[in-house]
Amino acid sequence: MKIDRIYVIWHREEYRKEIEKRLIGIDKPITYVGPEPDSRDPNFPKWLYDNGYKCTENWKTVKDGEEIDKAFGSFWARDIRSGEIACTISHIEAWKEAKKDKSECALFLEQDAIVSKDNGEFKDVFPKIEAYMAGMNHMDWDMLYAGMCGNPIVEDTDFFWLQKTIWSYCLHSYILTSRGIDIVLDSDIEQNLVPVDEYVPALYSPEDNNKIHPNLKYLHGRLKAYNITRNEKGHSLIQQSNGHLKLVGIEEYPDGVSDTEHSPLYVPHESKEYGYPELIVIDDFVKDEKLLHDIDNDEEFWKLGFNWWDGWWQSPTVSNRHKLIEYIYKDNCPFPIHQEDGGPGHGHGFEHWVGITSDESPFTKLVFGEEWALNPHQDKDEDYWASHPQGKNRGDHPDSFRTPLLGTVYYTEAPEEGGEIQIWDEKDFHSITPDTPYEIIKAKRNRLIIFDASKIHAVRKIKKGKRKAIAINLWEPRPVTEMIE
């Protein structure tokens, strides 16, 4: 088995240029993975949230005032740093690239990987690494460290040049087989982000190893890991640079800047999650005079019948009704609705219809002691309700009601008297009593009303003048009731 591809994980252009020079002469496809994500960006926590990543909770195991040596160095005595998270994501992206490339045996290098002076250059160590790998052809393995640092825990094998890795912290140079790539990608790392130097060892180290963070002990036994034995000076074939290749010249860090250790502590993004409003009333809502004119003079706009539109994100905007819906809910929504802003979203699409009533229209029967232009009701999926075994005329079980996410009424003409919308603070028609609280809102040209259309509502009798309005409901899922598209 030989290395078929190399993946270099980098975050700074200076480092990339350096390692590009060091890899000259290597006859392998090389993919550079970086520089995103940028942990120095103040919006990095939001970037994580927007891209579906989640960091582990309760990382810090040492309480303030306790001795640090009760944990693993200082790493567990503080919260995770943003740079550590960014580094982990870069490794994940490199694994994904290797998976996409169908690599059978991939070498992963971090940006500061170097070859020790007593081993020459990268082009000199590659034949050695592949010679060792050839000696492992009979073995069952997933991961091979080509470089180590610190004080790893290892066990000797029958080969002087190969050891079984029990635990090692550094990941500046390692090889994964195709099975190893599958194992690391099939883990929960994207929803349990920790320093990659902590996570990967947990995949092969014994469960009782006190070098493994308590949050990660459940991962044990998944990878089979080995390492190339370090020489008598303690040098690996591939090492991690110690200062001289780090960025220098910054007063606070005279020995160089680490993208992980000198990055800020990670503070989770506090997402603002909004729901749909109970009631909003806005006068003089549409400021676009052309749109107002087009609505008033568009015969198609005022055709009766229930219609459906999938929304601008799924269908073209082809009518003035579509333009009005887009004006309200895409461009000028009076509350946070877009999911990228923490809003609840637009659902599956929009049901829309118009109503034209006047003082000459016949009023409906007397309900609750009042005369109505539109009887008290709640908006619902009428066909679903009618076909439900406990629905219309069969008990009106709550399960038979599917109601919209949100209701909308927009007026283009208002009567001089009457035509108010009345909204009860109740969703069960049979529970309405004279004491049930309600709101009464007058009709007014260019007035927008957004409300919970699952609540019982009605339109009062028009006593003088004409009422012209469009109703718009947001739905999720789409109603089964047949509508015009």
Name the percent of the chain lying above pLDDT 90: 66
Q: Which one, of 346, 261, 272, lies nearest residue 75 by Cα?
A: 261
Same domain, 230 and 82: yes
Residue, of 266 and 173, whose pLDDT is higher: 173
Packed helices 82-100 and 178-185: angle between N→C axes, nearest 10 degrees: 130
Residue 331 pLDDT more than 60?
yes
Same domain, 229 and 318: no
Q: What pLDDT is attached to residue 119? A: 82
Task: Report, as an integer, the average pLDDT of 302-313.
Answer: 95
Residue, of 354 and 269, whose pLDDT is higher: 354
* Radius of gyration of the chain, Cα coordinates, nearest whole angstrom: 33
Task: Report, as an integer, the average pLDDT of 321-336.
Answer: 94
In which domain, by residue range, is 32 found? 5-240
Distance, in Å, from the CA atom of 40 to the CA atom of 213, rounded to the nearest integer, reads 26
Alpha helices in 327-439 (DSSP H): 382-387
> Which among 240, 267, 292 is the end of a domain?
240
The tokens describing 346, both together, are: 């637009």
The tokens describing 480, both together, are: 């089964």
Distance, in Å, from the CA atom of 361 to the CA atom of 227, rounded to the nearest integer, reads 87
Is the Cβ–Cβ distance between 142 and 183 less than 8 Å? yes
State the CB neighbour count (10 A cutoff) for residue 153. Answer: 15
Residue, of 43 and 113, whose pLDDT is higher: 113
Q: What pLDDT is attached to residue 259? A: 67
- Domain at 183, CATH number: 3.90.550
Within a domain: residue 268?
no
Diameter of the chain measured on Cα atoms = 102
Task: Quickly state the pLDDT bin for 243 (edges 50, 70, 90).
Answer: very low
State the CB neighbour count (10 A cutoff) for residue 450. Answer: 25
Task: Report, as an integer, the average pLDDT of 453-478.
Answer: 95
Residue 310 pLDDT more than 80?
yes
- Domain at 333, CATH number: 2.60.120.620
Same domain, 94 and 21: yes
Same domain, 183 and 288: no
What is the helix, strand, coil percentage profile of the chain, to 5?
25, 25, 55
Within a domain: residue 453?
yes
Q: What pLDDT is attached to residue 272? A: 64
Task: Report, as an integer, the average pLDDT of 354-366.
Answer: 86
Residue 62 pLDDT more than 80?
no
> Which among 186, 218, 240 is the end of a domain?
240
Q: What pLDDT is attached to residue 244? A: 43
Within a domain: residue 36?
yes
Within a domain: residue 455?
yes
Residue 33 pLDDT more than 80?
yes
Q: What pLDDT is attached to residue 102? A: 97
The number of domains in the chain is 2
pLDDT one-digit tens code per residue, 146-187: 999 889 999 999 999 999 999 998 899 999 999 999 999 999
Name the percent of the chain lying above pLDDT 70: 92
Same domain, 203 and 326: no
Same domain, 166 and 224: yes
Parallel, antiparallel or unpaired: strands 5-9 and 105-110:
parallel
Task: Report, as an integer, the average pLDDT of 314-342.
Answer: 91
Is the Cβ–Cβ distance between 472 and 328 less than 8 Å? yes
Q: Which one, of 420, 406, 457, lies nearest residue 436 by Cα?
A: 457
Residues 6+ apart with CB under 8 A from 368: 376, 432, 434
Residue 250 pLDDT more than 70?
no
SS3 state at 199 = helix
Within a domain: residue 262?
no
Same domain, 228 and 359: no
Within a domain: residue 468?
yes
Same domain, 234 and 350: no
The pTM assigned to this predicted structure is 0.59
Q: What pLDDT is attached to residue 8? A: 97
Same domain, 232 and 363: no
Q: What pLDDT is attached to residue 110? A: 95
pLDDT one-digit tens code per residue, 115-150: 977 788 999 999 999 999 999 999 999 999 999 988
Task: Report, as an integer, the average pLDDT of 195-209.
Answer: 95
Residue 304 pLDDT more than 90?
yes
> Which among 184, 218, 240 is the end of a domain?
240
Task: Report, as an integer, the average pLDDT of 238-262.
Answer: 57
Is the bond leading into 35 cis (omega within 30 degrees of zero)? yes
Q: What pLDDT is attached to residue 249? A: 39
Same domain, 204 and 325: no
Residue with tokens 């160590």: 125
Residue 47 pLDDT more than 60?
yes
Within a domain: residue 425?
yes
Within a domain: residue 260?
no
pLDDT one-digit tens code per residue, 405-433: 999 999 999 999 999 999 999 999 889 99
Same domain, 109 and 219: yes
Residue 28 pLDDT more than 90?
yes
Same domain, 371 and 462: yes
On average, the pLDDT of the chain sits at: 89
Q: What pLDDT is attached to residue 186? A: 94
